[in-house]
A and B are shown apart, each in its own frame.
Chain A
Amino acid sequence: MAKGLDLSGYYEKLEKAIDQSFSEYLQLTQGDLFAAAPVDTGRLASSFYISKDTPDLTARSEDWTGLQMKEYPGKITADGKWYIANGVKYSHRVATDPIYGKGGRVGGAAWYTNITTQLKQTHDKRLKINLRKIK
């Protein structure tokens, strides 16, 4: 009598699940920031950019109006250093000061803190969901 355990392809599936989790985590966080940020012209909300190795501190032009999330053009994998940055010069104030950030569309004045304090949980949730898919 014998019980076999077939691990062929297991590590490839594991690596793929980790990459997928990290990619979802970054994109969902960018989406959360985009959806929660206060909107006057939409420049701040539309200027959250994902980048690798160095933060992308460019921003939409000062005459920008509208809401459009800029998706990362390449493939996101769980390696190296990744950033979500916003180059609008008043972004830090609007993110952290409830007097300026009270128009936050999700989470009100604490819109930014709501997202950033839960990053570990966001990542863990994506990881659990993708690990469950491994057969």
Chain B
Amino acid sequence: MSFQSIRAVIETELFASYQAMTPPVSLVFQNVQETPPGTGADAEYVILQISFPSTTEPVLCLEWSNTELIRGSVQINCYSPREKGMGRLENMAAVAMSTLNTLKAADPTVNVCVGEISGPTNVSTGDNPLAMVVLSAPFTARG
């Protein structure tokens, strides 16, 4: 079991998908860069958050202990300039959604199986010069 192999599948596939967009979109990985690329009003980027809220499951049978099951959570935040319409943001969200849905096939040994995807939810409150949509989903994996 390796959290790194799970993270690698998700990050690699999403990075490739965002690089394939026209123009390519920067993907910000966790604990790599504190400041997102471009902080001006014309910046455009995606922040990826992966976490592992639980790794075991209780079982109903009294004689058994836990069983290993890695459950994760993925959150993708897409940022694009305000007042320029939702098209670009929704395209970025669609790339995230379609990529998440192909993760299982991307590496069957790791078997990242994404559950119900929430979003894209538009968050427009606050004083950030960029508009944002967010998608999130649970997943299970073998690692």
Query: Is chain B's binding surface mostly helix, strand, loop or mixed?
Result: strand
Q: Indicate if A15 sits at the interface (CB-CB under 8 A).
A: no
| Contact residues, B88-143 vs A (CB, 8 A) | 115, 118, 121, 123, 125-126, 128, 132, 134, 136-138
Contact pick for A118, options B47, B58, B71, B132, CB 8 Å:
B71
Interface size class of B (residues with CB under 8 A): 20 to 34
Q: Indicate if A110 sits at the interface (CB-CB under 8 A).
A: yes
With a 10 A CB-CB cut-off, give which of B36, B53, B54, B71 has the most chain A CB atoms: B53
Compute how far the CA of A94 lies from the CA of B120 in the bound complex, rounded to whole angstroms: 16
Compute how far the CA of A89 lies from the CA of B136 in the bound complex, rounded to whole angstroms: 21
B62–A96 contact, CB under 8 A? no
Compute how far the CA of A110 lies from the CA of B50 in the bound complex, rounded to whole angstroms: 8
B58–A97 contact, CB under 8 A? no
A114–B126 contact, CB under 8 A? no
Compute how far the CA of A131 lies from the CA of B62 in the bound complex, rounded to whole angstroms: 11
B75–A113 contact, CB under 8 A? yes
The stretch of A37-45, A59-67, A76-84, A121-129 in contact with B is A121-129
Question: Which 10 residue pairs spanning A and B have beta carbons closest together?
Answer: A117-B138, A110-B49, A113-B75, A117-B73, A113-B136, A96-B134, A93-B126, A118-B53, A110-B75, A114-B53
Residues of A participating in the B interface, judged by any CB pair closer than 8 Å: 89-90, 92-93, 96-100, 107-110, 113-118, 120-121, 125, 128-129, 131-132
Residues of B participating in the A interface, judged by any CB pair closer than 8 Å: 36, 47, 49-51, 53-54, 57-60, 62, 71, 73, 75, 77, 115, 118, 121, 123, 125-126, 128, 132, 134, 136-138
Query: What are some 20 contacts across the A-B interface (CB < 8 A)?
Result: A92-B125, A98-B49, A98-B75, A99-B36, A107-B51, A108-B49, A110-B50, A113-B51, A113-B75, A116-B118, A117-B73, A117-B118, A118-B73, A118-B138, A121-B57, A121-B138, A125-B57, A128-B58, A128-B60, A129-B58
